[in-house]
Amino acid sequence: MQRQTLKELIRVCDRVVVMSKRAVEILGSVWNVPMSPGLSRETYVAAFLSAVDSATEGFTPDVVLLSAGFDSLAGDPLGGFTLEMDDVTRLTEEMVSRAEQWCGGRLVSALEGGYAPERLGEACVRHMRALVGP
């Protein structure tokens, strides 16, 4: 198996879903889901899952690259979002399930953000537990 740099790997990705407060320009097809701060948890979860499902309509990824941005947690000084630990677990489980259906479970997760240290550790543990399953 040939080793690829992350930049090369991103270049072969056909769809990227970005959930943020601002537009992002990167390689590939970007599904930007701009979200205002302070919305309900359910609104963020539904918007993310809907965007992922829409982005993969008629497309089956070979691998899922997951940027685990925990600045989406309530109380984070940068994100302004309202997600809680149960949402971290649910969203991770949803992405694991999709990766299993699409690409034999191939999923790579990288910590991308989170600036409330008192919450970041628990979020990482919840995320990792959901990645490996029960």
pLDDT surpassing 80 at residue 13:
no
Share of the chain above pLDDT 70, in %: 77
Q: What is the pLDDT confidence band of residue 12, given thresholds at 50, 70 and 90? A: very low
Print the domain residue range for 106: 6-132
Mean pLDDT of 40-44: 96
Q: Which residue has the higher pLDDT, 19 or 119?
A: 119
In a domain, 70, yes or no: yes
- Mean pLDDT for the chain overall: 82
In a domain, 17, yes or no: yes
In a domain, 1, yes or no: no
Residues 58-108: pLDDT tens digits?
888 888 888 888 999 999 998 899 999 999 999 999 999 999 999 999 999
Instruction: Indicate the number of domains in the chain.
Output: 1
In a domain, 71, yes or no: yes
Query: How far lies 59's CA from each of 89, 95, 114, in Å?
Result: 25, 15, 30
CATH number at residue 80: 3.40.800.20
Residue 59: the pLDDT is 80
Mean pLDDT of 27-36: 71
